[in-house]
């Protein structure tokens, strides 16, 4: 049944509008009309002057709700992760596998295929982070899982499946020809946990590398004589940059410099979220190591950063408070730009006719009040579950 979302401050391409009603029908936005043009008899939902923005899309979600994707590679596990992130405005996400053995990679790919086939809300594909990384920049990834890709690995990555498939790797740990082959097969290949030189990165970008998974973290820095991975990306206006805006992974000053150096529409907010997001318990086990949240930050016993306890609504708030972005642009970094990165910019990330009705209603402090995924609102799902 069609429904009219009324009395909201709606984010359109030209900014927030108070005179627009969003009509949702059959999972999509069927029309944008004036307040006086809602069809007689149509069901209405009064948003009470709340902000209405496109749903957030997170391309790096390791876990949530006490569930780590590596440890629970099932459709049910993915559903639990999605439910944990939805109250924070995430209506689309890529379950992310931290470096592991080949069998776990295969199980995780199969789990995402099953989740999409079962219409688990919000699942857009899979992000395989590693194991083809540089051990010198491993971060929290287990060194005994890190290795070079062999033909069998590459064949598994290229196997056709449901949804989008993103791979984070170190360009110096794969041949340029193999990287190009992955890109031509439709994979979204990004650099991360890499010590590549500018020259290696430049060739990788020319061969189809899309950008970097978390700019500045776990990669060769911008130096006076060696531009490194950071320099290569800042020098390329088309490369995509995931950024973790929690005030810890990267200094807000450094992120501000990056935002001034290149087009903003190639930056996207990511959380790198761990199982603690949406969970009461703020510790978990990662491949035999205990990870605790200390001061809002996930670390192991040695103090190594281990993903984050960040959610997408928090990332948007931080982008406004720490980076000085206006709210509309911060929201685009969490919705439109990741949708475009994934090749879904014609159906997600905007409030426009024909787009999927994945939406977030929030108050002035960007505390999420309600979400819709393909037209199904969170209140209805909660009521159905309770019944």
Which residues belong to the active site? Answer: 272
Find how far residue 246's CA is from the centre of its chain.
15
What dihedral do alpha carbons 170, 268, 27, 128 form, nearest 10°?
Answer: 10
Is 307 assigned a ligand-binding role in the annotation? Answer: yes
Count of Cβ atoms closer than 10 Å to residue 184 Cβ: 11
- The CA–CA distances, whole Å, from 162 to 114, 125, 156, 348, 377 equal 8, 7, 14, 17, 24
Is 350 assigned a ligand-binding role in the annotation? Answer: no
Q: What b-and-e string marks burial along 195-206, b requiring 16 or more CB atoms within 10 Å of the CB?
A: bbbbebbbbbbe
Is 383 assigned a ligand-binding role in the annotation? Answer: no
DSSP string, 38-64: SPTT-EEEE-TT-EEEEPEEEEEE-EE
Is 193 assigned a ligand-binding role in the annotation? Answer: yes
d(CA 163, CA 108): 13
Is 70 assigned a ligand-binding role in the annotation? Answer: no
- The CA–CA distances, whole Å, from 35 to 21, 332, 375 equal 6, 25, 20
Judge residue 224's burial from the number of C-beta atoms within 10 Å of its C-beta, 0-12 exposed, 13-18 middle, 19 or more buried.
exposed
- The CA–CA distances, whole Å, from 23 to 1, 26, 81, 91, 174 equal 11, 10, 29, 18, 48
Find how far residue 87's CA is from the centre of its chain.
15
Is 344 assigned a ligand-binding role in the annotation? Answer: no
Is 249 assigned a ligand-binding role in the annotation? Answer: yes
Is 140 assigned a ligand-binding role in the annotation? Answer: yes
d(CA 38, CA 32): 9
Is 111 assigned a ligand-binding role in the annotation? Answer: no
Binding residues for Zn(2+): 129, 193, 214
Binding residues for substrate: 140, 217-218, 225, 249, 305-307
């Amino acid at each position: 049944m069609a429904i009219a979302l009324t009395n909201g401050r709606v984010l359109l391409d030209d900014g927030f509008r108070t005179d627009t009603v969003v009509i949702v029908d059959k999972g999509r936005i069927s029309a944008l009309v004036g307040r006086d043009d809602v069809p007689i008899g149509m069901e209405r939902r009064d948003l009470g002057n709340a902000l209405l923005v496109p749903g957030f899309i997170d391309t790096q979600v390791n876990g949530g709700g006490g569930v780590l994707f590596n440890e629970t590679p099932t459709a049910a596990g993915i559903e639990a992760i999605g439910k944990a992130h939805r109250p924070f405005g995430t209506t689309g996400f890529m379950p992310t596998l931290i470096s592991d053995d080949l069998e776990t990679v295969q199980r995780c790919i199969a789990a995402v295929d099953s989740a999409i086939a079962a219409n688990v809300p919000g699942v857009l594909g899979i992000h395989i982070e590693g194991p083809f990384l540089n051990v010198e920049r491993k971060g929290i990834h287990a060194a005994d899982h890190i290795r070079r890709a062999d033909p069998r690995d590459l064949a598994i990555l290229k196997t056709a499946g449901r949804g989008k498939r993103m791979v984070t790797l170190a360009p110096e740990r794969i041949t340029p020809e193999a990287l190009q082959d992955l890109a031509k097969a439709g994979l979204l290949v990004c650099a991360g946990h890499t010590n590549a030189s500018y020259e290696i990165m430049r060739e990788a970008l020319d061969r189809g590398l899309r950008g970097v998974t978390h700019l500045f973290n776990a990669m060769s820095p911008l130096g006076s004589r060696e531009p490194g991975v950071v320099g290569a990306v800042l020098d390329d206006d088309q490369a995509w940059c995931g950024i973790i805006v929690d005030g810890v992974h990267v200094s807000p000053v450094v992120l501000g410099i990056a935002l001034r150096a290149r087009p903003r529409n190639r930056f996207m907010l990511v959380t790198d979220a761990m199982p603690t997001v949406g969970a009461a318990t703020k510790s978990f086990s990662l491949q035999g190591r205990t990870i605790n949240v200390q001061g809002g930050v996930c670390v192991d016993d040695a103090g190594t950063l281990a993903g984050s306890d960040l959610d997408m609504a928090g990332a948007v708030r931080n982008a406004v408070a720490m980076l000085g972005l206006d709210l509309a642009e911060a929201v685009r970094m969490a919705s439109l730009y990741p949708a475009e990165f994934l090749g879904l910019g014609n159906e997600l990330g905007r409030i426009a006719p024909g787009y999927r009705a994945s939406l977030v209603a929030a108050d002035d402090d960007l505390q999420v009040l309600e979400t819709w995924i393909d037209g199904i609102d969170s209140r209805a799902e909660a009521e159905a579950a309770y019944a």
